[in-house]
Structure 1
Amino acid sequence: MVLDGVSGGMVDGSASGDGTVQGKDSATMPEMSEMTDMLDNVVQLPGHHPVRVDRSRDALLTAFGKATLDNRYLMPGESYQDLFGRVASYYGADAAHAQRLYDYISRHWFMPATPVLSNGGTTRGLPISCFLNEANDSLRGIVDLWNENVWLASKGGGIGSYWGNLRSIGENVGRNGKTSGVIPFIRVMDSLTLAISQGSLRRGSAAVYLPVWHPEIEEFIELRRPTGGDPNRKALNLHHGVLVSDAFMRAVADDDEWALLSPKDNTVIRKVSARGLWIRILTARMEQGEPYIIFSDHVNNARPEHHKLAGLEVKTSNLCAEITLPTGMDQHGRERTAVCCLSSLNLETWEEWKDNPQFIEDVMLFLDNVLQDFIDRAPDDMERARYAAMRERSVGLGVMGFHSFLQANNVPFESVVAKSWNRKIFKHIRAQADAASRKLAEVRGPCPDAADYGVMERFSNKMAIAPTASISIIAGNASPGIEPIAANVFLQKTLSGSFTVRNRHLDRLLTERGQNTSEVWSSITLNKGSVQHLDFLTQQEKDVFKTAFELDQRWVIEHAADRAPFICQAQSINIFLPANVHKRDLHQIHYMAWKRGVKSLYYCRSLSIQRADAVSDGQEKRDMSHREGSGPADKAGPATTTDYEECLACQ
């Protein structure tokens, strides 16, 4: 397929009016046919490199994966392999690199993030839509944030905004005035985001963040609770997160009072019980799934050294709580809106690529090209984002298929063997990413932030573990991100119809046992996607195929903590708890995350009813922003269009 009128080559001879080819005798006709077939299997964008596609690789796509591509990614007249070829052709550094990229993507070794697949090599949008910014404590600063967010949302952007600079309600402003606080301004942002998004093909979405020391933190925690309090001080269409410091967690441990401070001058506005505030945060997470938690000291301690030297601070995160980049005024007096460019390696294909010395280097080069494409094409309304991307060149290489990899190798999630694999895999990826960054710095130059301090790094940050939403579906229904699967069978409803999705590793095991029957699968469905009732499975096999809610969540935190040193940004980590979990256990899981050095926690999934026939919220987009929340009232129904679109800004 040759796109936009680009010729794949000249064929000697001319066509006559009757459709025959002049100037060639009939003996050459098979050669013409072969040439036509060859050209039909070449994708090339104007001014970019040709990529030869292998259409037999459609067989690697599942019906669900094809439906996902059909619904959201393909250009008119484009096939699945053409899509992969388009992205590879456009972002390949040379012909050989472009061909390798296509092979990696089509073989499901890695998958670019949603904006890259959708928009790469097209004029319909930008290849990055993950942004972080902050509001300054002035009317101009607030309005500037609103204006920027309007433009970002109109482009389908996912936005994480920090509001902790604003004075709280009742503080002095001007000569005789009093502030109305943070909440009314957040509510306006809520309305703006919703209004702009409603007319868009892909909805923009936003999350708001506040530090745990802010005087309005208690009301902020309840921001998304639909009942109780003043409805005019709610923001039900936004997502929210709390930045939690080490000092606060120590106060919780010691049962101390906690000072709430004026953002203007750090004076104490009032004091509250640290444990009481912590309980409110955890209760909201159980009942609503949010707020997200960002352990801000862990995040800032892990900043690259050149950002520490520059005094750049991380104050906020994104929609999925895995991006941790500096925002606001930098050392050059310029405002930054952080940008992150994402793609994910597929651990399910680990054995195919682990010994390939060029693979991760190629993916990092690809991400550098995607980032440059954003810098070159971002409109003036995104000047702060373009500037930040140019200065720090942060990317987020992530993974998907961790649980699928374990299951393929008959390794229980709750095991020392899984711990060993976890550390081995992420140590390998980080070492390769670091080497690629240094090599690219030699070839293309270090990013300006690093160059200011004589550091030879192309990327300020290299890794972040995104949820992987739809791209894990495209990559053969791999398990999302680094989290456990929600069910071994579920029904997924899409625009193309409903798909019963079975765990293929379990499917293979049942076939080996002669038990791959509709009756067995029906029993799994009736047992909420669980296999624990199947008496013909060994205990080891039952352990391998435990679902998210059947796992001891301490193992989720254990694995997250073990891989944290290798991930320069953060991880989208969901925890899965029963609705009747004891408050002590709820506290211990969250406290363990802080104690073990985990940087962030995404959703707290708490479902009183988990039906395997409608668990799409878990498998297709466990990382989706969940409109109804994740509390006991949630019936785990099929994901709505809104659910699906919330997190496409990441993946």
Structure 2
Amino acid sequence: MFRAYELGRVSKEFRDIVARNMDILDAMISEERDGHFSYFALQTLRQTYLIRNGSELIERPQHIWLRSSLQMHQCDLEKVAASYEMMSTLKFMPGSPVLFNSGAVRPGISSCYLLPANEDPDEIFETLDKVARISRNGGGVGLGVQCVPSKGSKVKGIERTGVVPILKMLDAALDVIDQGSNKRPGAITVYMEPWHADILSFVRMKRNSGPEEERARKLFYGLMINDLFMRRVEEDEDWTLFCPSVAPQLVSSYGVTFEVEYEKLEKAERGTERIKARHLWTEIMESQMETGGPFILYKDSINRKSNQRHLGVITHSNLCTEIVQLSNQQETSVCNLASIVLPSFVSLERTFLFDELDRVVRHVVISLNQALVHSFFPLHSVRASAFNHRAIGIGIQGLADTFTLLGIAFDSPEAKQLNSDIAAAIYYSSVDESCELIKVHGAYPTFGNSPASKGWLQPNLWPGFAPSAKYDWDGLRKKAARGMCNSLLTAYMPTAGTSQLTGCSEGFEPLPCLISTRKVLNGLFTIIPKHFMATMEDLHLWSEDLRDQIVGANGSVQNIESIPSNVRAMFKTAWEIDPATVVEMAIDRAPYICQSQSLSLHLARPSIQTLTKLTFMGWKGGLKTGLYYLRSQPSIRPIPITLPVKYWKGVEKCANDLEEGSKEHPICLACE
């Protein structure tokens, strides 16, 4: 049963644990649970996750859950059994690095790393070395470049070349710092603030047009935008750009402190250029429509609502915008992730099982804390952050499927309420369990003087917000003030990788399509959401003709009258749901998310006006991440040659309605 471990494909310590407990571990395995996997999931496991000895597969699907449980809990077999039970019944999924690297000699099981670039060009190769070591260890990287002097500035008598050459170097390096041929590639998101003198070059780095020497397209890009810039865009005012060498306090400040310093530098005419704020905003929006980025985060909201705000200023995020932690040259922020598989908490009577959710969330908090203890960290600065702050990230997947199983539409009032209730339940349970864990691990070392130490939890950092009356928040605040094991607990990540295994919709997004093809590491697959297929079969509606109608309508059922109207409402795709509803739901759950959420939007015909409206809506609603990916549709779609001619018209009409030049964007696989 554990031949992989006998062949030495895992560490000696791990192999010894297995050898001492072989019979007990064998008894835990339930091979019949392989039936929970779709063919697509089994192929993904086979190609990407299961251990091989050369070309020979020597691990079965159920063993990946047990191997991951053992990595987290080691000799605590009671906790190992509980983790295996929950993972194998698809109650929660750890981040992909846990599945990839559990049992390895160097078990890099953390998902996300944040670090700032060295501002001295002579030391930039140290940054590259850190990025390479992190990426090879299995993590996605968020890199802040705000401190890098701008092009043409003179620092220490030397004229600087700016951020573009550094980004080109990082872009080229990605080809040689991947995570293995059968795993995902290395990935980096670089972050900058809009006052930096190189901001226009930064925003254009992923564009399709322009000089090739000024492009770096394998990187991802993110903006840490302050409130002052947003107000100046709204009021159509001027905006001044600065080199960080003359404005270092702009990096290390936020809110009123930032605004006072910024306006003082403006009056002193220390800027390099003065432009219209709306000109820069238009550049950002045009890049969004063409490339899906740069990602948009709100620096002031992040810092005002952070439980780490007493330690310093957060200046950048991670690869996928849901992790917001303090990082500096001494500490490389790190986070272990897991997602709650929400459809598994819907009963046969169509009720949501909040008691079971509480049980699983508490176990996930325990497991992620143990994962920190038993993880390999590629840098001393990573270890320092891990144990000083003990940040973890619990997210969700399958929210759209959950609504479907309950018989409610994604954009219904019932879904809106449940969305908030689930977020409240996860946050309350995770904080309460973190308070209990101080009996095991003690309070995290930097707990003193934190907002939590003063009884301020995430809902209290949102002015005017009244949290769910279902829970004793006052009691929890008093409990938290006595000590918490973790500085941060919740982060709603994309779940592109692990959703392939569970067969659920990704994260908290609506269903993108009801019939699609997906190209992944192990080939091209036709994907039909399992709950949609089950619903059609229950209604005795599934047939080849219905399939062809859906393909002809580009994955939609809204105009197929043979399907009842209430069922069609349940299966609106992301392209058919008002994106303002998606933003509203993000705002509703945000007060229960102590880090952030990877909020993507689906717009078939994006425009500057629409994007501006949605991003300003998120900013005014207090979101920390305003926009992760903008997903648009291709302007022309080929007609499937197997589709009957009578359905061609629908395909052509849908394709002709799309905006020229838009394109589909890749899905991030690093933060799940």
**Structure 1 CA distance for aligned equivalents of residues 2 and 291 of structure 2:** 49
**Structure 1 CA distance for aligned equivalents of residues 636 and 168 of structure 2:** 33
Residues 116-161 of structure 1: per-residue CA shift (max 9 Å, x gap): 0111123365112421110232135423212211222333431110
**Farther-moved stretch of structure 1 (351-360 vs 427-436):** 351-360
Aligned twin of 1:110: 92
- SS of the equivalent of 1:483 reads coil
Aligned twin of 2:304: 301
**Structure 1 CA distance for aligned equivalents of residues 636 and 320 of structure 2:** 23
**Structure 1 CA distance for aligned equivalents of residues 434 and 548 of structure 2:** 49
- SS of the equivalent of 1:568 reads coil
Residues 469-488 of structure 1: per-residue CA shift (max 9 Å, x gap): 1211211x100001111111
Matched, 1:131 2:113: yes
The alignment's TM-score, normalised by the length of structure 2, stands at 0.81
Aligned twin of 2:286: 283
Query: Once the 2 structures are TM-superposed, how far is the Cα of residue 489 of structure 1 from its aligned partner?
Result: 1.5
**Structure 2 CA distance for aligned equivalents of residues 422 and 86 of structure 1:** 32
- SS of the equivalent of 2:355 reads coil
Matched, 1:150 2:132: yes
Matched letter for residue 53 of structure 1: I
Answer yes or no: is the 8 Å Cα contact 2:73–2:371 preserved in 1.
no
Residues 135-191 of structure 1: per-residue CA shift (max 9 Å, x gap): 23213542321221122233343111000011211112123x321111111211222
Matched letter for residue 413 of structure 1: F
Which runs of structure 2 are paired with 1:249-398 in the superposition (5 Å)?
A: 249-266=230-247, 267-304=270-307, 307-310=308-311, 312-329=312-329, 335-351=330-346, 354-356=354-356, 357-374=358-375, 377-379=376-378, 382-398=379-395
Matched letter for residue 110 of structure 2: I
Choose from 160, 168, 185 the match for 1:179.
160
Matched, 1:170 2:170: no
Aligned twin of 2:36: 60
Answer yes or no: is the 8 Å Cα contact 1:2–1:44 preserved in 2.
no
**Farther-moved stretch of structure 1 (450-459 vs 253-262):** 450-459
- SS of the equivalent of 2:310 reads helix
Answer yes or no: is the 8 Å Cα contact 1:187–1:235 preserved in 2.
yes
**Structure 2 CA distance for aligned equivalents of residues 5 and 198 of structure 1:** 22
Query: Once the 2 structures are TM-superposed, how far is the Cα of residue 349 of structure 1 from its aligned partner?
Result: 1.2
Query: Once the 2 structures are TM-superposed, how far is the Cα of residue 494 of structure 1 from its aligned partner?
Result: 4.9
**Structure 1 CA distance for aligned equivalents of residues 542 and 180 of structure 2:** 46
Aligned CA-pair RMSD: 2.6
Answer yes or no: is the 8 Å Cα contact 2:97–2:139 preserved in 1.
no
Which runs of structure 2 are paired with 1:412-451 in the superposition (5 Å)?
A: 412-451=409-448
Change in Cα spacing, 1:48 to 1:164, as seen in structure 2 (3 Å) is farther
The alignment's TM-score, normalised by the length of structure 1, stands at 0.84
**Structure 2 CA distance for aligned equivalents of residues 130 and 414 of structure 1:** 31
Residues 255-295 of structure 1: per-residue CA shift (max 9 Å, x gap): 11112122123232222111111111111101111100111
Matched letter for residue 163 of structure 1: V
**Structure 1 CA distance for aligned equivalents of residues 121 and 39 of structure 2:** 51
Aligned pairs, number: 579
Aligned twin of 1:539: 565
Choose from 505, 519, 528 the match for 1:502.
528
Matched, 1:473 2:473: no
Please list every run of 5 or more consecutive structure 2 residues that lacks an aligned counterpart in the other structure: 7-15, 53-57, 248-269, 348-352, 454-480, 641-657
Matched letter for residue 583 of structure 1: I
Matched letter for residue 366 of structure 2: L
- SS of the equivalent of 2:374 reads helix
Which runs of structure 2 are paired with 1:30-49 in the superposition (5 Å)?
A: 45-46=18-19
- SS of the equivalent of 1:309 reads coil
Change in Cα spacing, 1:635 to 1:262, as seen in structure 2 (3 Å) is closer
Change in Cα spacing, 1:199 to 1:96, as seen in structure 2 (3 Å) is closer
**Structure 1 CA distance for aligned equivalents of residues 198 and 522 of structure 2:** 45
**Structure 2 CA distance for aligned equivalents of residues 508 and 155 of structure 1:** 40
Matched, 1:245 2:226: yes
Matched, 1:407 2:404: yes
Aligned twin of 2:79: 97
Change in Cα spacing, 1:553 to 1:209, as seen in structure 2 (3 Å) is same
Residues 346-368 of structure 1: per-residue CA shift (max 9 Å, x gap): 11112365313432111111101
Change in Cα spacing, 1:186 to 1:47, as seen in structure 2 (3 Å) is farther
Matched letter for residue 147 of structure 2: N
Matched letter for residue 649 of structure 1: A
Aligned twin of 2:613: 588
Matched letter for residue 599 of structure 2: I
**Structure 2 CA distance for aligned equivalents of residues 632 and 316 of structure 1:** 33
**Structure 1 CA distance for aligned equivalents of residues 17 and 501 of structure 2:** 22
**Farther-moved stretch of structure 1 (479-488 vs 146-155):** 146-155
**Structure 1 CA distance for aligned equivalents of residues 322 and 639 of structure 2:** 30
Residues 293-323 of structure 1: per-residue CA shift (max 9 Å, x gap): 111111111110xx2222x221111221111
**Structure 1 CA distance for aligned equivalents of residues 344 and 165 of structure 2:** 48
Answer yes or no: is the 8 Å Cα contact 2:504–2:529 preserved in 1.
no
Answer yes or no: is the 8 Å Cα contact 2:171–2:219 preserved in 1.
yes
Aligned twin of 1:560: 586
**Structure 2 CA distance for aligned equivalents of residues 541 and 567 of structure 1:** 31
Answer yes or no: is the 8 Å Cα contact 1:557–1:593 preserved in 2.
yes
**Farther-moved stretch of structure 1 (231-240 vs 556-565):** 231-240
Answer yes or no: is the 8 Å Cα contact 2:137–2:179 preserved in 1.
no
Matched letter for residue 585 of structure 2: H
Residues 630-649 of structure 1: per-residue CA shift (max 9 Å, x gap): 9954665xx9xxx57xx433
Aligned twin of 1:235: 216
Change in Cα spacing, 1:494 to 1:596, as seen in structure 2 (3 Å) is closer
Matched letter for residue 419 of structure 2: N
**Structure 2 CA distance for aligned equivalents of residues 150 and 88 of structure 1:** 28
Change in Cα spacing, 1:531 to 1:299, as seen in structure 2 (3 Å) is same
**Structure 1 CA distance for aligned equivalents of residues 560 and 397 of structure 2:** 28
**Structure 1 CA distance for aligned equivalents of residues 422 and 360 of structure 2:** 14
Change in Cα spacing, 1:337 to 1:541, as seen in structure 2 (3 Å) is same
Query: Once the 2 structures are TM-superposed, how far is the Cα of residue 506 of structure 1 from its aligned partner?
Result: 2.2
